[in-house]
Structure 1
């Protein structure tokens, strides 16, 4: 860890008012401009301090930690110790583990994915279906409405045929009817699953909101599952049910929307991983359904 001076003011003063004197700080931000996360250590223990990039992110994440995360069970996610609406900041208890993508032993990776499936099911079941269903319908509308913006931003990275396919797939969403709804994580993939070799922990809830539960499978479906069907099977075993035929069709449509978003975001921000994920998804969709 580096010196505590690395924690900027007035954030440092607020953190010390909550946890006491901070002895060391480590920058734990992701490699993107709007990520602001620090690990802090002091007499009272270890915490992560996170400043949300936008007010809506702060609102979503604090809502998740207060209303949904406690349902995951002790030790399965960080605990919100304190938050500041003025600073858009949160102090979270530290949890052990490394991003799941670092696990290379196939049997342990399958175990981790099965545990992750159980955690996801608990999260999805937090809200009654009727309460979540209204916001799920809005999520579908927003996905369809936002496609033109993403396709426009990604036009240099898509052929006309590819853009047409993505549009055709996303346009099928409204006709699928009401989809099973629940409280979504919103960014569910191996980067936000910590694994210590025995237990899986779910982190980063800044995109959490009620919506169609199938949308939470998109990141894995576009990054991990194509090359590892055994991990899809393990996760759905932990989740406790397979996807329905309608959800499978919705997963394809949401994956198409995600590909357009990835190819709009990745090149603009120099994110090679996101760009590659979008490109691979487009190529797979062209082969399988084009």
Structure 2
């Protein structure tokens, strides 16, 4: 058994029991302190090993693989090779492709979004609406209840008028229930769409949880679609339906909550991209809503 330098000694024996002797290991973590991901190669293939930062993320991701990911089809998502609750670790098969980039050709980017919409619909349908309604209602309540904490943390980046606007928009959420519900991906945006030139695959399910389906569209609606509305059109063509009028209202409210969260998180962690997304959303909501 080998002990690759980039794979912790506490993790390597378990990984090799799953995939065989490791030939190559590479740190593939995201640029944040709690990300622990490695790409490993053995005689049996190429894999990714992921250690969840918290037990709740491990539970969410293993549930997603057990209940929903298999619905996406071969090569459209990784497969769970094995998992360890003790280590909070998962070994996943690798799928071809790189995270979708904004500089991809317009035609390929549209194709990727349309395929991603089809995959997301399959994922959402893994949990029927009636089974997800209680947790969706809880998610709405948590969004409303958590707003003041985010606004307090973001106070240096919001005017009083802007904060009141966000409060008003988020306060409309309870009146919009019940929203269509299912199993959310939880982090649905281009970073988690792998594109190999012909096919889109979805990855990263640690934030998957039951909730209102519209919540899965917030990141794209605030960060991508303002400049590229054609990508929203393509995604919903793949998804098989557009948002209802009530879901459109809910999308605005969830975007307002996301902006407050982004302006609380981004500056504190030095994440300029998250901060910019939050700031831009606030300005756009103040100017025109989220159409």
For normalisation by structure 1, the TM-score amounts to: 0.97
For the pair 1:279 / 2:279, whether they are aligned, the reply is: yes
Q: Distance in 1 between matches of 2:142 and 2:216?
A: 15
Give 1:146's aligned residue.
146
Is the 8 Å Cα contact of residues 38 and 48 (structure 2) preserved in structure 1?
yes
Paired position in structure 2 for 1:11: 11
Alignment correspondent of 1:262: 262
- 1:34 alignment counterpart: 34
What count of residue pairs does the alignment treat as equivalent?
288
Counterpart of 1:6 in 2: which secondary structure?
coil
Secondary structure of the structure 2 residue equivalent to 1:40:
strand
Map of 1:93 onto structure 2 = 93
**Alpha-carbon offset, residue 289 of structure 1:** 4.0
Cα deviation digits, residues 208-248 of structure 1 (max 9, x gap): 01110000000100100001010000000000001000000
Structure 1: which 5+ runs fail to align? none
CA distance in 1, matches of 2:89, 2:102: 28
**Dislocated runs of 4+, deviation >4 Å:** none
CA RMSD of aligned residues (A): 1.1
2:62 & 2:149 partners in 1: Cα distance? 29
Distance of 1:168 and 1:89 partners within structure 2: 41
Report if the CA contact (8 A) 2:222-2:281 is conserved.
yes
TM-superposed CA distance for 1:103, in Å, is 4.7
Gaps of 5+ in 2: none
Deviation digits for residues 151-195 of structure 1 (CA, Å, limit 9, x no counterpart): 111111111111111111000000112000111000000011100
Residue 288 of structure 1, CA deviation: 1.1
Distance 1:103 1:200 in 2: 16
Q: Name the counterpart of 2:192.
A: 192
- Structure 1 residue aligned with 2:208: 208
Bigger drift between 181-190 and 100-109 goes to 100-109
Report matched runs for 1:11-160 at 5 Å. Answer: 11-160=11-160
What is the CA-CA distance between 1:34 and the residue it aligns to? 0.4
Query: Could you say what secondary structure the match of 2:68 adopts?
Result: helix
Which residue of the partner structure matches residue 183 of structure 1?
183
Separation (CA, whole Å) in 2 of partners of 1:66 and 1:104: 32
Measured against aligned partners, the alpha-carbon deviations of 1:17-61 in whole angstroms (never above 9, x if no partner) come to 111111111111000000000000111111000000111000000
**CA–CA separation in structure 2 for the residues paired with 1:279 and 1:75:** 37
Larger mean CA deviation between 83-92 and 68-77 belongs to 68-77
Q: In structure 2, what is the Cα distance between the partners aligned to 1:102 and 1:29?
A: 21
Distance 1:29 1:103 in 2: 23
What is the rounded CA distance, in whole Å, between the counterparts of 1:70 and 1:104 in structure 2?
28
Q: CA deviation at 1:101?
A: 2.0
- CA drift at 1:6: 1.1
